Chains A and B, each alone.
Chain A
Amino acid sequence: MSSLEKNNSTPSCEFQGNLEILRQTYFFSSLPLETLKIFAYLCTREKFRQGEYIFRQDEDDGQAFYFIEGRAILERTDNGTTTEIRDCKTGEFLGGLTLLGETRRLFSLKSVTDTTCLVLNRGKFLKTMEQFPNLLARICNAVAQSIDTWEDRFLADRGVECGECRTRLGVTLI
């Protein structure tokens, strides 16, 4: 699990690379460059071996991940039975909500190949946001829009098939 093995992933490339990633991630993209630079600096790159858990169900690891390389699978265990939910692939960002406040994971995430993620934890995120309290509204807006888009798409794609779950729809109404 190394952030730097060869000099072709030089630190400068890493900082610049982190910055590029954050600029393209919905959660951060509305922030000004000054703040993005701080997050790009505070992020770390972590490698997970094949089969290693990136986070586990019911735990509050307080981290957000961007998949730089590799693939992981999202699982949920109920009453001892584990069900695979979906794949997480290169370029995907997840865990934004956990940066905002304490949340227990409802899923586990297991790497199925050697995976490299860009990781930011809640402590660093909140410390930074303390310096820019006005920008928190932009992040909240991005999250709210993302939830809205998600449910909108879900209703359009799968709403009809929902069956008994229909009464539980409406996450955008919380």
Chain B
Amino acid sequence: MIDVVSGLEQNAYTFGYALKYKIERVNGLAMSKAEIPIVKRSLFSWILAGNLKLQLLLLLIIVVMVMIRVLPLEMQKRIINEAINLRSIDKLLLYSGFYLAAVFFFSVLKYLTNIIQTLITQRTTARMRKDLYHHILTLPLNFFRKTQPGTVVNALSSELTLPGNFVGMAVASPFTNILTLLAFAGYLFLLNPLLAAVSLSIYPIVVFLVPLLQKGVNKYNKKRVDAARKFSARVAESISGIHEIHGNGAYRIENRKYDALVDRLLKIRIAWSLYRFAVKTSNGFFTGLGPFLVFLLGGYLAIKGRLELGALVAFLSAQERLFDPWKDLIEFYQVYQDGRINYDKTMRYFDVEPEHEIEPKDREPLQLENSVEVKDLSFATDTGIHLLDGINLSLKPGEHLALVGFSGSGKSTLALCIGQLYKYTGGSIMIGDREVSELTKKDMTNNIGFVAQSPFIFDGTIEENILYSTMAQIDDNGQGVNNKIPTLDDIIAVLHQTGIFVDILRFGLNAILTHDQNEELVKMIIRVRKNFQQDFGQELADYVEFFNENKYLYYSSISENLIFGAANKDEFADINLCRNEYFLNFLNTADLTRPLLSLGADLCRQTVDILGNLPPDAVFFEQSPINAEELEEYKIFVEQLKKKKLHELSGEDRQKLLELALRFTPAVHKMAALPEMLETLILEGRALFREKIAIDHPHAITFVQMSKYIYSQTILNNIFFGKTKTTSPQAQESINQSIIQLLIEEDLLETIIEIGMHYQVGTKGDKLSGGQQQKLAIARIFLKAPRILIMDEATSALDNKSQARIQNLLETRWKKKNTVISVVHRLDTIKNFDKVAVMKAGKILETGTYDELMARKGMLYELVGKK
């Protein structure tokens, strides 16, 4: 639910966001300042880095643990030789007490080492993930053309788990186990050197055999990492291209590709596991031979009286305890090998140099003069194709340049080179007196703003997206460039400039307020409602279906028509009505159950028939009573409906149909009819429900009244006291104008805009239209107000008015101050640019003012003619 921020201090408005951002940045920078890039670091370098104190503590605890671990063995020997032989109860109790204390303390210390190891493992894995992610983000754009997102996700998630585990074990495991082995071996030699030598003679065989088998494990582990990477990339590609798969019905093709990868992974994993088990089994087999030798030789010595029975028991017990540390050592060895392979393969994959330094190390970021000088510039691909060749152009500070030409002429490539997003391969680009290729990213982003043709909008609120470019500039002290952090006024000004103000106002007006929100706001909205009725009620009557107790509302759902108010109790909320016993009884009383079930079945059949094979795209489902995520369930349900009559349906199925029927909004869901009889019954039912509920649950519903805020409806519907009937742009324009006028009168405009700024734009901004996305991208750059602005067909999805507004703004406010380089697709917008450069096949064919070039009747003249 949207949180209404009223009377908000403007500085406080951005401060919270800036502070949060600063903390994130400081964390991020701490990592990026690591001297050696993560991809060059060895796996061993992680063992002590950042973990030194914990590792030392671990060592100390382990020494104590090993000492404690030997104690029970000595106690065993003394209990048998001294307490039992001498029949001394006191000694039995004493040694048993020591034994118990040793076991207890050992367990406590063991638990402590586990905690410390887990801490080291998790902290190291987290640091690896952060550092690697920070590194990946700096890699050249070219790298991402060859790399699937799934590969990156897999590397950051699963492939770094084993290396992290290794680091957690790297000190504790070998130290504990080798020390324990030595302690037990020493103790064995103390007890009987001959027996000790015989029982330890097995271990060299294991030491020889295990690495041989481990080679097989490593071989298949490498294959597994590669296969897992391909697998992740495959899944990511299928999901990204799901439209194409649906469109072509290419399920079998995709299934075949996927199944083949899964099968390959299956085979590799089986071979990998077999080798791993072979290591374990052979280790178990050889170490299992130890007691056999001890029994054979020890038994012989005991029979001959050359070995005490207590010593033999202690020897067997000590030897048995050799197995655990030995087994742990072998396991550690395997974790090391697997971790090393995962780590090396991952780091090698991402071992690509960033093309430019991220931040200057020994100086402040530069404030560049905003002139641009391009000399003999060329840009060639890896395969030697020249996308740009011999480009020369010059822009004084504040000049505006339009780059025009056919698709593929190199306009965007040139813009990307000037913006340092591509690294040019020859020639020079100077911004002020600095060569672009030698500048850091920070120098560039502090001076340049870039708007792409298909801008990327991040999941989050409008506000977060608008502040994105500005907040990226915030330094470690929480200050922006020139100490400038935008205020709400700055933001609103930019919203107007880019024409997204009305869209955000609309998002705000479509918000639903909760009971606990600002009472003052609610009162103001009711005042606006009254003024709307007086000033615009008549004029906009065609566009609005007003709430009227005596009329059926075609733009409201059946449940809204019946309840005709807002629920104050959860059980009467729209989504719960079909499970509310009281309401279900009321439907029976009002003779509504049967016709509603019939309507629900009709809706279900028709919707599945029309939308059954379409992907879950908002375009297809905004006029449907069935949500995209419910479609599969209803598809199965339709099959059941074919076999059963309505009265044969189970309670749950009837509920499902009722739910659908209650959602039915005749003017929106056009695939089914609202029978005239049902319409009459619903109107009668509305009156009956009001009577009944007033007696049975007097406070459950607040009925729709002119003087009350309706909490179940949007702010806009509250102002209208009704619902809009049209989506036509002209009608929307008339509505917007009247609403803005009323909101200004009530001083409510900013509050509604603030609510709209909290609108969640969805993944990749998918809840916004293409035009809104472009406006948002332009707004975030305008807010940043860079000294040089590069626009790559940045207004292509905008309507004429918005495009003209932005063009006008650039001409009146930016000219002679901020330099603009604009890749233009519509030639009617370039007349007032200071310079126009016409490109073809990677070269500039002509440069000059629009009038000069048109008079010359060259390439531009031809292009304009063709357009």
Contact = CB atoms under 8 A, between A and B. Distances in A.
Interface of A: 1-4, 7, 10-15, 18, 34, 37-38, 41-42, 44, 46-49, 52-53, 58-61, 104, 119, 123-124, 127-128, 130-133
B726 A2 contact: yes
A113 to B, nearest CB: 15
Given A1-B542, A2-B725, A38-B614, A11 B666 contact: yes
B609 A37 contact: yes
Contacts of A47: 542
A133 B769 CA distance: 22
B598 interface: no
Contact of B614 (A18, A104, A131): A131
Contacts of B248: 133
Contacts of A12: 670-673
B246 A3 contact: no
B725 A1 contact: yes
A1 B731 contact: yes
A158 B543 CA distance: 44
Contacts of B542: 1-2, 47, 49
Interface in B565-611: 606, 609-611
Contacts of B247: 130-133
A128 B247 CA distance: 9
**6 A-B pairs closest in CB distance:** A12-B673, A11-B670, A1-B726, A10-B673, A127-B619, A2-B725
B728 interface: yes
A76 B674 CA distance: 43
B669 A59 contact: no
B361 to A, nearest CB: 47
Given A41-B610, A53-B730, A11 B667 contact: yes
B670 A14 contact: yes
A11 B669 contact: yes
Contacts of A59: 799-800
A41 B670 contact: yes
Given A1-B543, A4-B666, A41-B623, A10 B725 contact: no
Nearest to A41: B610
B800 A60 contact: yes
Interface in B540-576: 542-543, 545, 552, 554
Contact of A10 (B543, B614, B674): B674
* Interface-central residue, A3, A61, A128, by most chain B CB under 10 Å: A3
B328 interface: no
B477 interface: no
Interface of B: 243, 246-248, 542-543, 545, 552, 554, 606, 609-611, 613-615, 617, 619-620, 623, 666-667, 669-674, 676, 679, 725-731, 769, 799-800
Contacts of B620: 38, 42, 127-128
A61 B728 CA distance: 11
A131 B552 CA distance: 37
Contact of B730 (A18, A38, A52, A130): A52
Contacts of B609: 37
Nearest to B671: A15
B283 to A, nearest CB: 58
* Interface-central residue, B243, B542, B728, by most chain A CB under 10 Å: B728
A131 B246 contact: yes
Given A1-B542, A4-B666, A44 B671 contact: no
7 contacts: A1-B543, A10-B673, A38-B611, A41-B611, A42-B619, A127-B617, A133-B248
* Interface-central residue, B545, B609, B619, B730, by most chain A CB under 10 Å: B730
A126 to B, nearest CB: 9
Contacts of B246: 131
A41 B666 CA distance: 13
A125 B48 CA distance: 61
Contacts of A2: 542, 545, 667, 725-726
A11 B672 contact: yes
B824 to A, nearest CB: 14
A46 B247 CA distance: 30
A1 B555 CA distance: 13
Nearest to A47: B542
B165 to A, nearest CB: 45
Contact of A3 (B667, B769, B800): B667
A174 B671 CA distance: 41
Nearest to B607: A41
A11 to B, nearest CB: 4
Contact of A41 (B554, B615, B671, B676): B671
B728 A131 contact: no
Contacts of A42: 619-620, 623
Nearest to A10: B673
A41 B670 CA distance: 7
Contacts of B613: 34, 131
Contacts of A37: 609-610
A7 B672 contact: no
A10 B246 CA distance: 33
Contacts of B610: 37-38, 41
A33 to B, nearest CB: 10
B454 to A, nearest CB: 15
A7 B730 contact: no
Nearest to A17: B670
Contacts of B672: 11-12
Given A10-B674, A127-B617, A4 B667 contact: yes
Contact of A1 (B623, B666, B679, B728): B728
Contacts of A131: 243, 246-247, 613-615
A57 to B, nearest CB: 10
B722 to A, nearest CB: 12
A132 B611 CA distance: 13
A2 B724 CA distance: 9
A155 B79 CA distance: 120
B782 to A, nearest CB: 23
A48 B731 CA distance: 9
A11 B243 contact: no
Contacts of B243: 130-131
* Interface-central residue, B554, B679, B727, B769, by most chain A CB under 10 Å: B554
* Interface-central residue, B552, B670, B769, by most chain A CB under 10 Å: B670
Contacts of A61: 729
A58 B619 contact: no
Contacts of A49: 542
Contacts of A60: 799-800
A19 to B, nearest CB: 10
A123 B674 contact: no
Contacts of A48: 728, 730
Contacts of B800: 58-60, 104
Given A11-B670, A119-B728, 17 more contacts: A1-B731, A2-B667, A3-B667, A11-B673, A37-B610, A38-B620, A41-B610, A41-B611, A42-B619, A47-B542, A48-B728, A49-B542, A59-B799, A123-B769, A127-B617, A127-B620, A131-B615
